[in-house]
Structure 1
Amino acid sequence: MSTRPNQTQSRLSPPVLFGIMAAMIIAVGVMQSWSVAFSLINLCLISAIMALGVNIQWGYAGLFNVGVMGFAALGGVSVILVSMPPVAEAVQAGGGAIMAGALIILATVIAAAFTWKAVKHNKRSRYWVMSLVIAIGYFVMRYVVDPGTDAIEAVNPATTGYLGGFGLPVLVAWPVGALIAAGAAWVIGKVSLGLRSDYLAIATLGISEIVIYVLKNEEWLTRGVKNVNGLPRPVPYEIDLQGALWFQDWANRLGIPVDDASSLFVKIAFALLFIAVLAVLIWLSEVALKSPWGRMMRAIRDNETAAAAMGKNVTW
């Protein structure tokens, strides 16, 4: 007797599962609230977007990466850095020190790279000399930056206490966040993709926790756990809709209370926006996976040694 799964059943499984989920969400809307139902839909869409990236890493490349939330945190921080207006007083108080610290970090990286190449013939002292260069650069950077961060965090700490952002439209922050996360992933990948199995999982989890820890504690940059209030949104705020005469008239015609209508309108607008983003990302993922890069990812998953033997850079 054949043990192969029934192809018709396999093809029907996803539609059946989606149908069950849709029925459950409709039941929530009917028996509880349509606002809650659309909140669930939005969470599902956000989870689907995140799952696309995880599927490429785990499914197509076969790399067990548990550091996804670190990249998600970088995407969230990008909204603050891009869309929030700059805090002029904080920039004046410590912006110069932050810029000087960034230059010191850049100089340290250049000096470390130069040192690594300069002492390549002396393998015993190579690591010690480079570590000394990095340590000196770190302590000099902290000496310059720490007074600046203290001054920034002292500026109206109840509401600001951070540098702010560039004041750009919030939709600009979404692709910027993707680029920041991709840049961090490239750096982390160059460090950790030489590891395999449990070691790769431990490395990615540890790096993710480091990223989250830094973002939670560097209050001058993100306000840490204090939260940034009044983040710009790509859709209107409920309070603004409730004060608009056209919206009040529209809600009255439908026989819905204005506050309920505003909440429902915002959630539907977010759902449509998330659906558009998800559709674009699915299309880009399909194009990427059918490209030579995608075929290389599958080759690495199936047989990394054979892929490397054919000249593919399996740790790139």
Structure 2
Amino acid sequence: MNRLSRRSWCRTTGTSSTWCGSPCSRPSTSSSNDPERGSVRFLSTRRRHPLAGLVVVLLGLTVLGGLYSLFAPRAADARSAEDDLVEQGRQLFLVGCATCHGLNGEGLLTERGTNYGPSLIGVGAAAVDFQVGTGRMPLAQNSVQAPKKPVVYNDAEIEAMAAFVASLGPGPSIPDEEYTTASTDPELVSLGGEFFRTNCTACHNSVGAGGALPSGRYAPAIDDAEGVYVYEAMLTGPQQMPVFSDDVITPEDKQAIISYIAALRDEPEYGGHPLGGLGPVSEGAAAWIIGMGSLVIATVWIGTQGVRTRK
């Protein structure tokens, strides 16, 4: 046998080769020989692309930003609406209040140094809601005390003016409806009666009918007052009324007082006509005018009848 054509087995490739000098071929890594392995390598190469990590980060940030914008509170919109309300209140204030209270609520002084209109800085929204909501402001004329009269502004305008005054400085805010609504709970009404008799009857009478005060002033009747205005009056202390802050009389106790005042409206008059609920003043006047007047009329009539009999 020819030596050059002699075959031998190649351990590397597992194929036979000749001694003629052709080397053993290496194992092929072509995808044509192993399709599955080639596709895996293709996908692995794409996953390890240098921009793949950047794309994933950008996608995550986009999703996170979208979720935040969807569920985040609209602080900017709320601030814009509040600013619009304050500006609306400012325009109303300049027309109806600045003449006495100044352009910025700083108050005005007369030539003698007395207040022409007090400062409103720090009085809070509750004071505006009470004074304007009950018609006491704006004043029709200068007087010892601002009387209750028909309301000039509507609810939206009062809210705007209250927002403007509240922006001038921190002060009492309008109370929550939870504490301004009267309750029919007997225990709460009884508790409110105790607070009312202790703190309010000296000026407002035991049934809230009001009463006279020195220097031509008076405590107004509150038997028909709305709960929110009763609360705001205690909170701000209008006219000569002292201030009963929430630290002095808690919101729960204020609600008890409101409940007691509301209960007085439905309480029957066991003693007949209440005569305004003013106590000995009205009762004494009725006794003198009606009682003594009747006696005088009866005496005169008896006298005239006696004269006619003698004739």
TM-score, length of structure 2 as denominator length: 0.19
Report the structure number with the largest CA radius of gyration: 2
Greater per-residue strand proportion: 2
Greater per-residue helix proportion: 1
Q: Which has the higher contact order (CA 8 A, sep 6+)?
A: 1
TM-score, length of structure 1 as denominator length: 0.19
